[in-house]
Amino acid sequence: MGYMERNAEKRIDPTLLVEGAKSIISVLVYYNPGNPSVSTVPPKISRYALSADYHVVVKDMLFKLLDLLRNEYGSVSGRAFVDSAPVLERAWAEKAGLGWIGKNGLLINQKLGSYVFIGELIVNLEIEPSNEVAPNRCGICTKCIESCPTGAIVAPKVVDARKCISYLTIEKKSSLTEEEKSMLNGWCFGCDICQEVCPWNSKRNEAPNEKLKIIPKIANLSPEKLTSMSESDFASTFGETSILRTGFLKFIRNINQSE
């Protein structure tokens, strides 16, 4: 993914994103809705996309946190980030003690697992840093590597995006090759396989935020409804979600090729 190579300086120097930045506040928001059929029966949709768009929900929570800081400390300059800017989200979250980077490249929290959204506030307020860095608790487990059907996890913490089902169904702009079509493994948007097999996700926690619970009309989608969806159905069904960003044509393309 070429965009990952751009703005390298901003990724490692937060002061280029927020003038006078002194602290990064990292947060995790849990979202796991369990095992609805829309995520377990093809054509499958990744669990993170079954609720309101996390970019909007988590950023709104961060803005409220920023307001609380201003109420407490007066004038505070800062910006909120949720997977939408050159920010090393997982690295900052790991450094803050919120978890460790698993062999699938995802941040894993000991209590919440990996079904979490990461957000940041970069502020010009000096805050005492976290001192406890979470130890890596993956141990000798390699379930995520072994379970990836396309072999996208080529080494611990190293993912070849060209083989990743999430990349193929969401990020890839050009048409899929015949080989790529055969790699979708029943998924039409995203993929949760490496999270489904992770032992740290074996205990489900309830999502604490109502806005990140699965949208009922999406939970009730049958394969038949998905495969026969019109463009207006797509807009009305997924208008609040991050799926809308991928567009109707690509979504239907994935459905047709994931069967």
Catalytic residue numbers, as ranges: 83
Q: How far apart are CA 78 and CA 22, in angstroms?
A: 10
DSSP-derived secondary structure for the chain? -GGGGTTHHHHH-GGGTSTT--EEEEEEEE------GGGTSSSEE-GGGSSS-HHHHHHHHHHHHHHHHHHHHS---EEEESSSSS--HHHHHHHTTS-EE-TTS-EEBTTTBT-EEEEEEEESS--PPP--PPPP--TT--HHHHH-TT--EEETTEE-GGG-HHIIIII--SPPPHHHHTTSTTEEE---HHHHT-GGGSS----S-GGGSPPHHHHT--HHHHHT--HHHHHHHHTTSGGGGG-HHHHHHHHHHH-
- Would you state the torsion angle of the CA atoms of residues 183, 189, 193, 196, taken in this order, to the nearest 10 degrees? -160
Q: How far apart are CA 61 and CA 56, in angstroms?
A: 9
Q: How far apart are CA 237 and CA 218, in angstroms?
A: 7
